[in-house]
Structure 1
Amino acid sequence: MNLIWLIQQSNIEKKMEEAPDSAYEIGVVIGSYLPFVALAAIAYAIFYYTKKNKGSE
């Protein structure tokens, strides 16, 4: 997990150096973290759904 974070961090830093303005930097940060947030939300939804259905048996 740390390896993915390190690779992602170096990629973000490179894009920040090449950014034309601050709006681009914000977009890079959001675009970099959004997939991880989406996956966490999907995992939580699946967990909640299975926990809810398992308890009603």
Structure 2
Amino acid sequence: MRSLILFLQQVNVEQKLKEAPDNEYQIGVLIGSFVPFIVLIGIAYALYYRAKKKEQNLK
């Protein structure tokens, strides 16, 4: 089920850039394709920081 959802959400960025009506749309597509990675990095950093802080409090 999970792989089906991932397959349906997969976006072909190159195709969207080729069909873009103008430069603003291209910039929006690029930013939109990087947002999930930025969010994941932020979550990973928050979890790391929280675990590190918790470890320091135990000492």
TM-score, with structure 1 as normaliser: 0.78
Alignment gaps of 5+ in structure 1:
1-6
Q: Of the two, which has the highest radius of gyration?
A: 2
2:57 is matched with 56
- RMSD (Å), alpha carbons: 1.3
Which residues of 2 match residues 20-31 of structure 1 at below 5 A? 20-31=21-32
Over the matched positions of the two proteins, sequence identity in percent amounts to 49
Q: Deviation at 1:31?
A: 0.3
1:32 is matched with 33
Alignment gaps of 5+ in structure 2:
1-9
Q: Deviation at 1:12?
A: 1.2
Paired positions, count: 49
Q: Distance in 1 between matches of 2:18 and 2:57?
A: 53
Q: Tell me which of the two structures has the higher relative contact order, counting C-alpha pairs closer than 8 angstroms and 6 or more residues apart.
A: 1
Shift >3 Å, 4+ stretches: none
